[in-house]
Chains A and B, each alone.
Chain A
Amino acid sequence: MNILVLLRMVPDVVEELEIAPGGKALDADLLRMMLSESDGHALEEALLLKERYGGVVTVLALDAPEVDDALFTALAKGADRAVKISDAGENPTTLEAAYTFAGWIAGQPDLAYADVILTGVQAIDDLDGLLAPLVAHQMRLPYLGIVTRLAVDVPGRVATAIKEYPGGVRGEFDVDLPAVFGIQAAEKPPRYVPVAKVRAAMKSRQIESVPAPTLAEAGPSLVNVVAMEKPQPAEWAAMLEGSPEQVSGKVCEILAGTGLL
């Protein structure tokens, strides 16, 4: 089975985010980039599929800070091939990323026949749409998102996918392959790989760096950022200060005041 995983780097939001002068973008100098969380789950699901059914896992990413780390980690975890698309723009929108991914895949005779294309369900900066449906649209393939489990009938070219609904309800779908899936969570938490193994991959494995495909004229962006701000909620919590014992005492007073204690 030919399994393709699309990976994107996003800012680590545990760090303080600063807005760049001009007010329309994050200050890139201060960002720490990490693999988008659900993309990590997409990779894990791909590795599980390979273990179960055999096949080749190719991970594909756009060049970005820290992306080599993410790609070597994917190789150390069991991916067969890692490809980095260079010069795909500074901060590509999700639409641009989708066109770049789909355009590059279309130019690869071997990959154009991928059986499953996996990516994360959603990224925290998907301002202009979600990647999985955009890639599916571009490649004329079926799409299903919020997927938490895949089983594949390889000769029949059909996947059985579990999709999450609200309230803990799930839906079981049959999807004809090839197809694009937005993975919410892999069947198991993403595997851990020791740093030593990642280092070993850096020495023994290669990331293929390829140029971005030439795309049809993209035209001006359809979604324009006017301003970026840190939210100022109308009502920020009243902050309790002091040692753990002191704040605990204050919480007790509040609970007692509302009859909860």
Chain B
Amino acid sequence: MSGNVWVFAEQWRGRISEITYEALALGKELAGALQVPLEAILLGHNVLPLAGTLGKADTVLAGEHPALAELVPGLYAEALAALVEERAPCAVLIPLTNISLGMGTLLAARLHLPSVNFCQDVRAAAAGIEARCVLYGGKIESRVTAAGTPAIFGIWSGARSPEAGRSDRAPSVEEVRVTVPDDTRVRLKRYIEPEAGDVDITRQEVLVAVGRGIQSPENLALAEDLARSLGGAVCASRPVIDQGWLPLSRQVGKSGLTVKPKLYVALGISGAPEHVEGMRDSSLIVAVNSDPRAPIFGVAHYGIVGDVLEVLPALTAAIEARKEAHSHA
């Protein structure tokens, strides 16, 4: 197979996103297997200083352009398409984040290239490059091959550890000329910072997380009781926040916060990849779900198949009883 392996080095507000390092780790393995160089593609405005953090790549191709100051997927896809046509990589790995979502799809559509979404793994196989994709909210994995190169792979968080994609080595940096269409139909006006919540869930040692399985806002009190017993706070998956049952400051996951408490109790949460990326690194994860095949059990250390509305009060009672017994001991 000819052509280098590319990783799109996603940067936002002056920082390389963590998942870029995961993609670099994955890209390094793929490039090694194919015996081709790994290149990181860094686009933006005033981004050259960031190139030094991409030492896992053999070379950083850095393209500066004032029109790329903010990541508008359509503009970035056009700039990338011109580079792909010029340099013909064999694979382009693109982190799937809220920042650039849609860009990979546009790039592939523009050049009539295969586009593979939701990849947890990408490796060299007899039939070309094979990806392992997480579909149906984490319930099914598909192994797929892309017909033709370059193929565009959207990489899920969790594919590799970001640590494996960092390096102290200084990469060689090549400045490339980028062409950006004169298209201002999509314009970022401003960022809106999140409002500080009443509690900062990123600082809690214990989090009691509720998902759609909690069923109604009245049942939140059961989770509050457990959180109080454990000395922690309640957080939630997206549907609970979208219903307005808890504020956005309590959302864990891709669009919400990333948390690493000592204990994460996941109640009625299915374990969709967008939720898991925000809580996977918790020290101890206990999950309660009525579905024995819920993907959350693939992430949790301990699992209980049951109804949260039955387990919650029992668990709070058991903890209170234990605390009571110890205070008398």
Contacts and interface: CB of A to CB of B under 8 A. Distances in A.
Interface stretch (A12-20, A49-57, A108-116, A203-211): A12-20
Given A142-B74, A143-B74, A129 B303 contact: no
B33 interface: no
A129 B105 contact: yes
Contacts of B109: 95, 129, 133-134, 137-138
Interface stretch (A65-73, A84-92, A231-239): A231-239
Interface stretch (B21-29, B44-52, B171-179, B316-324): B316-324
Given A221-B147, A237-B297, A251-B318, A169 B191 contact: yes
Contacts of A222: 112-115, 146-148, 151
A202 B113 CA distance: 42
B122 to A, nearest CB: 13
B263 A142 contact: no
A236 B136 contact: no
A229 B302 contact: no
Contacts of B151: 222
Interface stretch (B35-43, B60-68, B162-170, B180-188): B180-188
Interface residues of A, number: 83
Interface in B125-161: 127, 130, 133-148, 151
A170 B300 CA distance: 30
A144 B306 contact: no
**Best-surrounded residue of A143, A168, A245, A251 (most CB of chain B within 10 A):** A168
B298 A237 contact: yes
Given A164-B255, A173-B186, A245-B318, A223 B298 contact: no
Contacts of A172: 188-192
A176 interface: yes
A146 B253 CA distance: 14
Nearest to B313: A244
Given A13-B270, A228-B140, A260-B262, A124 B256 contact: no
A189 B242 contact: yes
Interface in B275-308: 284-287, 291, 293, 295, 297-306
Interface stretch (B1-9, B83-91, B96-104): B96-104
Interface stretch (A1-9, A75-83, A177-185, A193-201): A177-185
Given A171-B188, A174-B189, A226-B143, A127 B133 contact: yes
A147 B116 CA distance: 23
A162 B238 CA distance: 17
B298 A146 contact: no
B318 A231 contact: no
B323 A248 contact: no
Nearest to B317: A248
A182 B321 CA distance: 49
Nearest to A250: B302
Contacts of A143: 73-74, 102, 106, 186
A166 B98 contact: yes
B142 A227 contact: yes
Nearest to B286: A251
B318 A249 contact: yes
B188 A223 contact: no
A229 B141 contact: yes
Contacts of B248: 168
B255 A184 contact: yes
Contacts of A225: 142-144
13 contacts: A142-B74, A184-B255, A221-B147, A223-B146, A229-B142, A230-B140, A231-B141, A236-B298, A237-B299, A238-B302, A248-B318, A248-B319, A261-B323
Interface of A: 11, 13-14, 16-17, 19, 26, 95, 121-122, 124-130, 132-134, 136-138, 142-146, 160, 162-176, 179, 182, 184-185, 189, 220-231, 233, 235-241, 243-245, 247-249, 251-252, 254-256, 258, 260-261
Given A127-B142, A176-B185, A222-B146, 20 more contacts: A16-B293, A125-B135, A127-B116, A127-B117, A127-B133, A133-B73, A143-B102, A146-B101, A165-B255, A166-B255, A169-B191, A169-B193, A172-B188, A176-B186, A231-B141, A233-B299, A236-B297, A238-B301, A247-B304, A251-B286
